[in-house]
């Protein structure tokens, strides 16, 4: 009698252990997916790390720099051993390449619930002397990549919104895309960021009834490598700048908002003056 009880218990334990990995795999696969462009460093990396803390999303990281992506993945996994992170080497200025990768993610690695357009290049130069090829690159990366990624991902996001209360497009723009931060030597950079702001507001009007949030985050100077590489870096005070973690937490705020509201624009300014010459 006792032997039969032990045998039944052993069989039940065996079945449980066999099914456990499958169950965990299904739970992982059912997590919503978040795409983050430009996530090999700086703001994109900070956002990936922030989302890893929550353990709510499978992360798909895009960048031209595969080594940087792998480093971001490693940091995410160190923070959260259960983090699920996939890296895609991608030049977002190449519309065909970007489209193919996003369609693959949406079709095979969903449900896609979050698109974060973060890729960007800066230092546009003066309107009288700027290089037109560099302006074209800025348009391709800062604006066209945002419009392409949004258009390709929207059908997947719309489908996900049928069963999910928090489907979001978050575009990382800049204070340079607002009338509050117009200045010299920002010609094309400002133009692309104004474009991102206008595009974001218009897309929100197109998709809000489907339950899709569209938010534009507009930071001032953020202490990143891109800013440190600017020609005018010597005139800047990096200890007074916004930190990457501040932007990441703003993204988290958007994702945590209820289905009844959408912060369509968030403005983030440095508490202290980041420019030496204005002191």
> Does a structural domain hold residue 15?
no
> What sections of the chain are H helices per DSSP?
2-29, 42-54, 66-79, 95-108, 132-138, 145-160, 187-207, 225-228, 244-256
User: Which residues partner with 213 through β-bridges?
Assistant: 168
Residues 6 or more apart whose Cβ sits within 8 Å of residue 183: 176
Q: Extract the tokens encoding 42.
A: 């700086």
Residues 6 or more apart whose Cβ sits within 8 Å of residue 141: 92, 93, 119, 120, 121
What's the confidence (pLDDT) of residue 19?
Answer: 46
CB atoms within 10 A of CB 225: 8
> Does a structural domain hold residue 37?
yes
> Does a structural domain hold residue 20?
no
> Does a structural domain hold residue 40?
yes
> Does a structural domain hold residue 7?
no
> Does a structural domain hold residue 59?
yes
What's the confidence (pLDDT) of residue 26?
Answer: 37
Residues 6 or more apart whose Cβ sits within 8 Å of residue 277: 235
Kindly report the CATH number assigned to the domain that includes residue 209: 3.40.50.720
Residue with tokens 């969903």: 110
**Is the Cβ–Cβ distance between 43 and 247 less than 8 Å?**
yes
What's the confidence (pLDDT) of residue 233?
Answer: 64
pLDDT tens-digit map of 70-99: 999 999 999 999 999 999 999 999 999 999
What total of structural domains would you count in the chain?
Answer: 1
Whole-number Å distance between alpha carbons of 229 and 138: 16
**Is the Cβ–Cβ distance between 168 and 257 less than 8 Å?**
no
| Residues of the chain under the 50 pLDDT cut | 1, 15-26, 278-279
Q: b/e string for 226-264 if b means 16 or more Cβ within 10 A?
A: ebeeeeeeeebbeebbbebebbbebbeebbeeeeeebeb
Are β-strands 33-37 and 58-63 bridged in parallel, bridged antiparallel, or unpaired?
Answer: parallel
**Is the Cβ–Cβ distance between 62 and 45 less than 8 Å?**
no
What's the confidence (pLDDT) of residue 220?
Answer: 84
- Domain span at residue 42 reads 32-273
In this structure, what DSSP letter does residue 139 have?
A: I
> Does a structural domain hold residue 179?
yes
What's the confidence (pLDDT) of residue 178?
Answer: 81
User: Which residues partner with 37 through β-bridges?
Assistant: 62
pTM metric for this prediction: 0.85
> Order of strands, edge to edge, in the sheet holding 265-268?
85-89, 58-63, 33-37, 112-117, 167-172, 212-219, 265-268
> Does a structural domain hold residue 24?
no
What's the confidence (pLDDT) of residue 279?
Answer: 43
In this structure, what DSSP letter does residue 186 have?
A: B
């Amino acid at each position: 009698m006792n032997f039969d009880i032990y045998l039944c218990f052993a069989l039940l334990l065996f079945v449980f252990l066999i099914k456990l990995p499958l169950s965990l795999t299904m739970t992982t696969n059912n997590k919503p997916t978040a795409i983050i462009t430009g996530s090999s460093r700086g703001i994109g990396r900070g956002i990936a790390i922030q989302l890893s803390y929550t353990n709510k999303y499978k992360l798909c990281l895009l960048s031209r720099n595969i080594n940087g992506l792998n480093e971001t993945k490693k940091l995410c996994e160190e923070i959260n051993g259960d983090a699920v992170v996939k890296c895609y080497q991608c030049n977002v200025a190449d519309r065909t390449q970007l489209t193919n990768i996003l369609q693959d993610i949406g079709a095979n690695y969903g449900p896609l619930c979050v698109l974060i357009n973060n890729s960007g290049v800066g230092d546009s130069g003066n309107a009288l002397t700027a290089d037109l090829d560099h302006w074209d690159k800025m348009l391709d990366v800062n604006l066209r990549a945002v419009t392409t990624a949004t258009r390709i991902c929207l059908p997947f996001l719309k489908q996900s919104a049928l069963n999910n209360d928090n489907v979001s497009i978050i575009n990382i723009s800049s204070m340079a895309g607002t009338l509050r931060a117009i200045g010299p030597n920002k010609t094309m950079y400002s133009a692309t960021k104004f474009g991102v702001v206008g595009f974001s507001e218009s897309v929100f009007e197109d998709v809000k009834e489907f339950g899709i949030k569209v938010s534009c985050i507009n930071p001032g100077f953020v202490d990143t490598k891109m800013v440190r590489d600017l020609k005018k870096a010597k005139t800047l005070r990096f200890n007074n700048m916004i930190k990457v973690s501040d932007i990441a937490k703003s993204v988290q705020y958007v994702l945590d908002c209820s289905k009844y509201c959408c912060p369509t624009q968030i403005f983030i300014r440095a508490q202290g003056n980041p420019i030496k010459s204005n002191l």
